[in-house]
Amino acid sequence: MKKYFFFLFVFLFPFFSSFSQHNEIDSLNQLLKNAKYDTTKLRLLVELSEECEASDILKYSQSAVELADVIISGSEKRDWKLSDVNKVKKYKALALNNIGFSLGEGENIHKAIESYKNGLLIQEEINDKAGMAMTLNNLGQVYLNQGDISKSLESHHKSLTLYEEINDQKGIALASSNISLIYRGQNDFPKALEYVEKSLAIREKINDKKGIAHLLYNLGQIYTTMGDTAKAMNYLRRNLIMLESINDKQGLAYSLSTIGSNFIKEGNIPKALEFFFKSLKIRKEINDKGGIAQSLHNIGSAYFKQKNYSLARDYGLQSLEIAKKVGYPVRIRAAAELLYKIYRQENKWQDALAMHELFVQMRDSIFNQETQKSTFKQQAKYEYEKQQTISEAEHQKELAVAEEEKKRQKIITYSVGMGLVLVVLFSIFIFSRLRITNRQKRIIEQQKQLVDQKNKHITFSINYAKRIQDAILPSEDEFKKCFPEYFLFFQPRDIVSGDFYWLSSQNGKTILAIADCTGHGVPGAFMSMIGNTLLNEIVNEKKIFQPSEILNQLNSGIVHALHQESRTQDDGMDISICLFDKERNKIIFAGANHSMYVMRENKMEEIKGDIYSIGSMFGKKDIGFTQTEIPYSKNMNLYFTTDGFPDQIGGEKGKKFLVRKFQELLVSVSSLEINEQEKTIRKAFEDWKGNYSQLDDVLSVGIKI
């Protein structure tokens, strides 16, 4: 088998016996040792590179390339036929493809691309269309890992064309499903559906049950993302039937878990629990420890949503225990986060703090093995000390009980002949208990006063921070000067906000920014201050007015300010930058994971920004943002929003409002006067939220040109 990149969402894991694989490798090595001819050695080296462990691929492949070059250079002296030389070149191309496969991630990715391209040149030279299609498929995945979507799509489309030319049905299905997944990642659902259905038709025609199961799952995921839960559940159930027919328990467990998650989104907790328990049962049967931890976490989360905190805690603790045993940081982090939320609801603040600390440790140490080990030790130490404290408390309680019993026995013994003494002793005892009780009350009252005083100071500090943040934000007069007709719906979740807006007008140009920083409350407000300061420096001091370049400079500034070059934390912001150039009669927009909505002639157009966020690409300074230009025209409405409104939970079933509904709301209010638009949007938010808590800061801006 050749080294292929399959980036279908693989949950169907083929099982190969380690013993059998080692036997095959040993057999090939023995044949290689005894081989007399270079061409035989070349073939065996390529086969070894495809059967060996990942760590040995490079060793065998490089040896194959070197041997192929030796054979080709001496072929003229031997008067070989062209077909024989081409066969050697074909093996060399396969070896180069395997080198690319082994280098396809991390810092060697450019070498991987070079190796694939060298192999592709050889395949083009000998007209090996099947090999070219395979290499282009692999190149497409490498480009996708780099975030170069256009090159990835180009490679996969070329791969598909070649597979169609040679009528390779499995290859056509593979390329089509890969293309579908790229379009799905770009939220281009019509094209994603077109290609996944094309692949599914072929898989069904050739009765490839594993492939069919993959694609049914992908269809379920596409419709889930589109918000069409009914269709999504239909495909996921068909996926279950297919997995049962091939007895793929690993895939069954994963698919059952996914269906349960969809029921969670619908608010159907009992149904979700039914599927989560089925998934847990299978994972226990196949002894999938990581999967068991995930299922226990899913069940705990479902009970938490039901506000059944006792059961939620039990399953959360089970998940944490198993995740710690197998050393799985991602699952430890998830379990700790769930337990933190549960302990908060139960007012167990010390336990909540411990779980929050564990969550932060796991989050910061996912990519650091040494830190992971330290975290486990710290957690074990915490558990031990906690148990010791409990044991000591129970021991003291037993001593106290024993002492009380002893006192009572003495009182009973002396009461027969010493009634008066008993009364005196009892009175003294009551008096003593009253003194202790009063002293405890005084201590509790003092502690309460101390907590109240601290809360008062904290609230005063945050309110003062709000005054500072309000002073930095553009005033109503500044807005009216730039945009006579506008509305601003700004509603922080807490006292201070992670969402902010920014405005600058100079030299006939007005620049507006709408931003959503990581987090909300005090952490979000810190990020908003950094963003505001950087925008002032970029636009007002450096005189940079092009939105795409503003985003590039802002990203570089955030990465530098937060030292993200050397850290894996991904704090940052999603932001819209819009330039109103009245002299050129142009509006120029650039967005970092944000869109601008343009309403003209009763039609809405969504102008999407880039998919990247500011400062969230793990230290990458040079992302390269793009911008879109549109002409000024009268009676045009522009809308900008953060994700606070669309993500708000509410309605009868406690679901998200969603972007689609928000767009429909904008269309419905666009014909109203601008102040009426704000009132309607604000009312729609409050009506939808109802008795639910506000989840995030809300910022929506409308401008009438």
Residues 346 and 339 sit within 8 Å (Cβ to Cβ): no
Distance (Å, rounded) from C-alpha 27 to C-alpha 24? 5
Counting every residue, how long is the chain?
Answer: 705
Contact between 253 and 279 (Cβ < 8 Å): yes
First to last CA, the chain: 62
> What are the DSSP calls for 227-281, one per residue?
T-HHHHHHHHHHHHHHHHHTT-HHHHHHHHHHHHHHHHHHT-HHHHHHHHHHHHH
Q: Evaluate if residue 35 carries a pLDDT over 80.
A: no
Among 146-155, 226-235, 584-593, the minimum mean pLDDT is found in 226-235
Q: Which CATH number fits domain 478-704: 3.60.40.10, 1.10.287.3510, 3.40.720.10, 3.30.70.990?
A: 3.60.40.10
Percent of the residues in the chain that have a pLDDT greater than 70, as a whole number: 83
pLDDT in tens, 196-226: 999 999 988 988 888 888 888 888 888 888 8
Reply yes or no on whether the pLDDT at 367 is more than 70: no
**Token pair of 697 as six digits:** 């800061």
Give me the pLDDT at residue 618, please: 44
pLDDT in tens, 534-555: 999 999 999 999 999 999 999 9
DSSP string, 109-127: HHHHHHHHHHHHHHHHHTT
Over residues 424-459, the pLDDT tens digits come to 665 676 666 667 767 777 777 777 777 777 767 677
Q: Where are the alpha helices (DSSP H) in 545-636?
A: 547-561
pLDDT of residue 2: 43
pTM, 2 dp: 0.44
Token representation of residue 573: 């912001």
